[in-house]
Structure 1
Amino acid sequence: MAEILANALRFHVQRLPAAETPGSGGAGGAGVPVVFLHGLVVDNLSSFYCPLALPLARAGHEVVLYDLRGHGLSERPPSGYDSGSAVRDLVALLSSLGLDGQPVHLVGNSYGGTLALHTALARPGLVAGLTLLEPPLSGPWVENMVDTLSVAALSLEDSPVPAELSSLRLRKAAKLTAIADALLNRTTLIDDIASGRTFTPADYAAVGCPVLVVCGEHSELVPGAREFVRTASRGTLRILPGLGHDVLKEPGGVLRESVLAHAAAVRRAAGAGALSA
């Protein structure tokens, strides 16, 4: 566990070194760090740790996980929850970690996938590849999420629930509830999400790196994912049967193997590009 100062904020970061494997040397090597971006409000870096982060590190990839601004153990300022600030946070964090001189592979879950795509569009030279897990890409999702978060904010305002959970020694639930209350009622997060721009087909066409999009079979986000892979030149869609928005809970290892294969392909492509440069 570490605290890193970036963009004038303290971020909670965990960094997993790449294990040495027979395939991790040579061109590309472990030289494309995999950086994880989690979802909104009650999510944090821990959701990636066992399903994907450890397997990627064991397969020879350097891994960086961090709590987004205001989430988990990172600092919670009152404002700056728009996508532009998130991109600046990520760029500054990579610089603080000494990783600003090389492209990275971004893995984003849910809203983290949105931020990963914003980063690829704003800083294409920084992103060697994308893995987007259940990414909300369409305008209706944004409207629905804002409505959902607004209702949650009202239910948490001046609520006795965190104190009651603490009295029952349900510390983790109490902590997550308190974080949700602080984010929704004492920051500009909802307004920043509501004012954010939605993606267009032109945005999808502008993404030049290899992209793996993963959705659950029953997810309402599948149509947006299909539109993305129809338009992006290097997009691939994987549908996981029997699941909805909870693809990180996929029990059979299909998600893990799909992400490992894509990460290896991104590393090979980056190595080939370095040799031809």
Structure 2
Amino acid sequence: MAEIPANSLRFHVQRLPGHGAGPAVVFLHGLVVDNLSSFYCTLAVPVARAGHEAVLYDLRGHGRTERPRTGYDPGTAVRDLAALLAALRLDGHPVHLIGNSYGGTLALHAALARPDLVAGLVLIEPPLGGDWVANMIDTLSVAALGLEDGTLHSELTTLRRRKAARLAATADALLNRTSLIDDIAASRPFTPEDYGRLETPVLAVFGEHSELLPGARELARHAPHATVRILPGLGHDVLQGGTEALRHAVLERLGAVAAV
């Protein structure tokens, strides 16, 4: 565990060394109550055991990374990633990016803005469709209103549900005391032209019952090197609900890209 300065912030980072010589694998987690820990046992440890260096970090404002008031737009997230790779001396060779939920969206932004940094993408249930911004803003705004008066945190603390209370406090801080909602609201949706200029191989994994499947089909239709994998019986819970199948797909993809 380490704190790494990058792009004027201190990021909480964990590195798991691999024994191979291939590209490092960098994990990007989802929004608000998520952090690097969701990847640790599910994918990062198996990836490292397969020989790849695994790099996990808490996104800006999440987990143990510093929480500035502003800078939660995709462009800044890409600059955070680029600066962090430079600080870790991983910017000399492209890395694989594995992103879950909104982390997958950020990974795709990174591949479009900085293709020189990206060897391949694994996107797990990323929100990609044109209406995802509006839907996410509605969800986050409702959550923000529910947390604003602080009573939920107090009630959970009284009930000694300390972990849930910490998550509620983190969500309140992000949603009500930073520009996160406004920054996401200002995000531009991906277009077919964006997908068409993707230079990196993409594996996108979705649950069979996911409401995000229309975006997956659009990606598959326009991205020249994209493969979409549908896991049966799952919704937007692929990382936790379909860990074994996902792990197999990820390790298979990392091996296939390395062999090209």
TM superposition score normalised by structure 1: 0.92
Deviations 1:11-68 (A, max 9, x none): 11010000x3xxx3xxxx3x31000000100011011111110100000000000000
Opposite residue 156 of structure 2, the aligned amino acid is L
Aligned-pair CA distance for 1:138: 1.3
Deviations 1:158-182 (A, max 9, x none): 2222122223322211111000000
CA contact 1:33–1:61 (8 Å) conserved in 2: yes
CA contact 2:238–2:246 (8 Å) conserved in 1: yes
Task: List gaps (5 residues or longer) in structure 1.
Answer: 270-277
Q: Say which SS state the counterpart of residue 102 (structure 1) adopts.
A: coil
The 2-side partners of 1:224 and 1:124 are apart by: 21
Match of 2:259 in 1: 268
Match of 2:182 in 1: 191
Aligned-pair CA distance for 1:144: 0.7
Q: Say which SS state the counterpart of residue 139 (structure 1) adopts.
A: coil
The 2-side partners of 1:220 and 1:173 are apart by: 26
* Equivalent in 117, 123, 126 of residue 132 of structure 1: 123
Match of 1:66 in 2: 57
The 1-side partners of 2:157 and 2:193 are apart by: 49
The 1-side partners of 2:87 and 2:223 are apart by: 31
Opposite residue 60 of structure 1, the aligned amino acid is G
The 1-side partners of 2:74 and 2:257 are apart by: 24
* Equivalent in 38, 41, 50 of residue 41 of structure 2: 50
Match of 2:17 in 1: 17
Asked if 1:229 is matched to 2:230, the reply is: no
Opposite residue 214 of structure 2, the aligned amino acid is P
Opposite residue 15 of structure 2, the aligned amino acid is R
Higher relative contact order (CA closer than 8 Å, sequence separation 6+) = 1
The 1-side partners of 2:172 and 2:244 are apart by: 34
Cα 1:100–1:251 change in 2 (3 A) is: closer
Deviations 1:143-162 (A, max 9, x none): 01101101111110022221
Q: Say which SS state the counterpart of residue 155 (structure 2) adopts.
A: helix
Task: List gaps (5 residues or longer) in structure 2.
Answer: none
Cα 1:56–1:177 change in 2 (3 A) is: same
Opposite residue 116 of structure 2, the aligned amino acid is G
Which aligned pairs between 1:229-248 and structure 2 lie closer than 5 A? 229-248=220-239
Q: Say which SS state the counterpart of residue 103 (structure 2) adopts.
A: helix
Which aligned pairs between 1:69-108 and structure 2 lie closer than 5 A? 69-108=60-99
CA contact 1:37–1:116 (8 Å) conserved in 2: yes
Deviations 1:206-260 (A, max 9, x none): 1111110000000011111111012111110100000000001234611110000
Q: Say which SS state the counterpart of residue 204 (structure 2) adopts.
A: strand
User: RMSD across aligned C-alpha pairs, in angstroms?
Assistant: 1.0
> Which deviates further from its counterpart, 224-233 or 72-81?
224-233
CA contact 1:105–1:266 (8 Å) conserved in 2: no
- Residue-pair matches, total: 260
Match of 1:159 in 2: 150
Match of 2:28 in 1: 37
